[in-house]
Structures are given as structure tokens and as C-alpha cells.
């Protein structure tokens, strides 16, 4: 799925914008996208199925992270593939690192002001901030 497709759905189906409706709409629209008919039984179970899929995915990642012996050779490709996919969606390079820096700065409790360019360690934009003195 692309962000364009999801935006189109959100535009077309206003109820999908509400959190409580997100799972059932995503489930129904993904099935439709793949040419699968949404039966009454599937419709009734959409929320549960989506929740189970998302939970299973999170647990899969957690188990592999905690048990390196279960990983296959493509496990290390995940980070690179994820970054390539995110760039394709229009995210800025290194946005995860930026978020971690911001989280660390916010948690420090120090008095910080807006980011100021002090180096641009990744070459494409400035990443560091200076404390207010």
C-alpha cells in the first residue's frame, strides 16, 4: 500500500478517519484491493483479525530480536529495506535518528531552544542542537 492509496481511502471514506473504524476499513479495503470478497463473517471479524495480525507481527519482531539464533541471513537486510521503503514514501533520510535525538534532548530536562546548525554530521542537514546559555 502507498500513502497515496491510503489518502484516497481517507478522502473517500470519512468514517475511516476515526480510530475506532481504522482496522475494519483497512481490512475491507485491502481485501478489495486484492480482489477478495468481504463476506459477513469476515466483516464481523475484521477488527479481531487486524489486531491479531498486528500483534503477531510485533511479537515476531520481538522474538527474533531477543533470540538471534532464530534469525535467518536476511534478518540484517530489514533495516536497509525499511529505510529504502521509508525514503520511497517521502520520509527524510535519518528521520529515526533525528527522533531519537529529540527524544533524548526532551528527556534531559535541560533548557533547549530550536535546532541550530552546528555541523551537519550527516551532510544533508544539521542535526545537533545547542543548549540555551
89 Cβ neighbours under 8 A, 6+ residues apart: 2, 3
* Confidence category of residue 98, pLDDT binned at 50, 70, 90: low
Over the Cα atoms of the chain, what is R_g? 20
Q: φ and ψ at 77, to 5 degrees?
A: -75, -20
At residue 96, the pLDDT reads: 64
Q: Are 95 and 9 in contact (CB under 8 A)?
A: no
How many percent of the chain have pLDDT more than 90?
23
Same domain, 86 and 23: yes
Q: Count up the domains in the chain and report the number.
A: 2
As a whole number, the mean pLDDT across the chain is 78
pLDDT for residue 89: 77
Q: Tell me how far apart the alpha carbons of residues 71 and 75 are, in angstroms, rounded to a whole number.
A: 6
Give yes or no: residues 129 and 84 share one domain. Answer: no
Q: Is this prediction's pTM over 0.85? A: no
Show the domain range for 109: 93-133
Amino acid at each position: 500500500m502507498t500513502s497515496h492509496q491510503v489518502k484516497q481511502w481517507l478522502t473517500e471514506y470519512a468514517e475511516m478517519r476515526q480510530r475506532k473504524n481504522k482496522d475494519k476499513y483497512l481490512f475491507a479495503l485491502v481485501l478489495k484491493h486484492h480482489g477478495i470478497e468481504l463476506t459477513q463473517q469476515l466483516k464481523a471479524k475484521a477488527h479481531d483479525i487486524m489486531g491479531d495480525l498486528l500483534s503477531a507481527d510485533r511479537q515476531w519482531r520481538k522474538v527474533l530480536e531477543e533470540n538471534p539464533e532464530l534469525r535467518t541471513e536476511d534478518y540484517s537486510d530489514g533495516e536497509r529495506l525499511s529505510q529504502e521503503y521509508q525514503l520511497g514514501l517521502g520520509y527524510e533520510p535519518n528521520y529515526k535518528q533525528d527522533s531519537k535525538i529529540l527524544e533524548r534532548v526532551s528527556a534531559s530536562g535541560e533548557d533547549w531552544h530550536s535546532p541550530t546548525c552546528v555541523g551537519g554530521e550527516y551532510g544533508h542537514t544539521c542535526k545537533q542542537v545547542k543548549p540555551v546559555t
